[in-house]
Structure 1
Amino acid sequence: MGQVLLGSSRGGRRLAVKVIRPEIAADPGFRERFRREVAAARTVGGFWTAPIVDADPGGPVPWVASDYLDAPDLEALVRDRGPLPEPELRSLATGLAEAPGRGPPGRARPPRPEAVESWSPARARV
């Protein structure tokens, strides 16, 4: 879909910035779905979700910035350590269930910390 970059606000707040690839952004259907995704994400808050800080889903290069959560990649965690112990699994399931209006996780997954790169072109400023 795009690239997730590590950016920072003027105040130094770390952000995960998803920038959509041009060939995908050229699809009007995708643009509408992305606009709805951003609008829905703005309504979600709480301990288990990264709040949206800013976005421009209709811009020449669509993007969305959220707080960066420095957390392990679940796939790598399970691969390296094996299945989650029941208390951790229950905690994860509770968090997913408490994300209002989001439903079960789908194609959009949070950025993996190791996949988040430093955004050097003037560092993302939001």
Structure 2
Amino acid sequence: MEPFDRVLVAVDGSEESTRAVEYAVAVADTYDAAVHVVYVLGDGVADNYESEGYADTAEEIAAERGVEIEASAVSGFSEKRLSQHPGSVVLDTAEEVGADFLVVPREPQTGTRAAVLEKTAEYVLRYASQPVLSV
């Protein structure tokens, strides 16, 4: 098996997504890869994700293992662009950053933030060209 260079993990700030970050960092540490955390957030939340500490939590988890990490935020859906799906946003981001392994939180999730990622795991598992770990 070829080692992975970049692991992408989709998160929304839930406990499930924090666990997904832990798995992504473990995979990256094993294969000496970097991690890209993509915050798939709903409208209104994407603007203030940094102030809510999402980036800090992921950075702390990565720092414990000495794994390089970067982050970005994307809107997981749009009422104006009905064709945009949270899963397609994750796959588009994976292509943009050159990710060759994906980690997504598994359903079911609870809470308002989770509404964005609830449909993502199944979509990503179905359509990703990269290996996917659903946790």
> Whose helix proportion is higher, 1 or 2?
2
TM-score relative to the length of structure 2:
0.27
Question: What is the TM-score when the length of structure 1 is the normalising length?
Answer: 0.28
Who wins on radius of gyration, i.e. which is larger?
Answer: 1
Structure with the larger RCO, 1 or 2 (CA within 8 Å, 6+ apart): 1
